[in-house]
Structure 1
Amino acid sequence: MKIARLRSKKVVIPATLAVAALAVGGTVWVASADEVRGDERTRAADAATSAAGGGRALDVERADDGEDGYEVEVLLEDGREVDVLLDEDLEVVSTEHDDDRDDRDDDRDDDRDDDSDERPDADDRVLSDAERTAAEKAALTEKPGSTVIDVEASDVRGVAYEVEVRDADGLEWDIELDADFGIVATHADR
């Protein structure tokens, strides 16, 4: 009986160690697979800093949205950050300016579905004609020759208005505006 137990330990312990080694190795591989290095990093960083209007690339990674390309975080000279998404040919897909210098809240979800707050969400607000016109004008300045599809209030922190447009090539764009109708981010709608 002791021999059978000893034999099972000889099999279980090495098998457990092998699984643990594979898990650690796989995690390291996945984490390093997103990193971009060497000339490829330099080219992506240069394209992103050029698109951001200067600054320094802090982080260059492969795009994680299933598309080929790069995500580059650029630090501007004034301390603000710009996230630039590039396609595989280093063409700009979108840029997003952080509103403040503190990213602690960037991934926080402020949507509440539990009725704990009786106030309506900002995106439920009906826009005035003046707001709608100003938002459309800002979006068409960003994407000249486009057609406005939709304009609505936003409940995203730092974004007051969301405008959806279709450009002359038929590509749809989501344009986010701040309360003063300044461009916060422009995303190709894929």
Structure 2
Amino acid sequence: MSKFSALLAATALTLTAGLAQADVRPDLIPGLLKSGAIMDLEKLNQLALAQHPGTSAANITDTELEQTASGAYVYQVELRDGKGIEWDVDLDAKTGQVLANKQDR
């Protein structure tokens, strides 16, 4: 395979991987909040924590706002419950609907 072909293949893989889901730039978030495209992020954090009631020591370790290929916004929350178990909670960033709530492995 020539160097050009290898470069072209690598570029194509990179571009298609980016189409599935992309991080939203932080400077775009105020406009998304104002337009109603996403909920208040603190409310989304509380909805994620509410998925693990009774674990008062649960805390959020990371969050990301991503846009899917279809244009929807997904708020991804990583948290650790009071027992030290890590969870990944995905929420529809507009409605707060829980899309996924799974133990991180």
Same fold (TM over 0.5): yes
Measure the CA separation in 2 of the matches of 1:131 and 1:122.
20
Structure 1 counterpart of 2:41, from 114, 132, 135: 132
**Count of aligned pairs:** 76
Query: What is the RMSD of the two structures over their aligned residues, measured on CA atoms?
Result: 3.0
Unaligned runs of 5+ in 2: 1-12, 34-38
User: Which amino acid is 1:171 matched to?
Assistant: I
Unaligned runs of 5+ in 1: 1-111
Contact 1:132 1:151 in 2 (8 A): no
* Corresponding residue of 2:95: 180
Give the strand-richer structure, 1 or 2: 2
User: Which amino acid is 2:75 matched to?
Assistant: Y
Paired-residue identity, %:
29
Measure the CA separation in 2 of the matches of 1:113 and 1:169.
38
2:68 is aligned with 1:167:
no
* Corresponding residue of 1:114: 15
How big is the shift at 1:160?
Answer: 1.3
Distance 1:186 1:114, change over 3 A: same
Taking structure 1 as the reference length, the TM-score comes to 0.34
How big is the shift at 1:122?
Answer: 4.0
Taking structure 2 as the reference length, the TM-score comes to 0.57
Considering Cα pairs closer than 8 Å and 6+ residues apart, tell me whether 1 or 2 has the greater RCO: 2
How big is the shift at 1:150?
Answer: 1.2
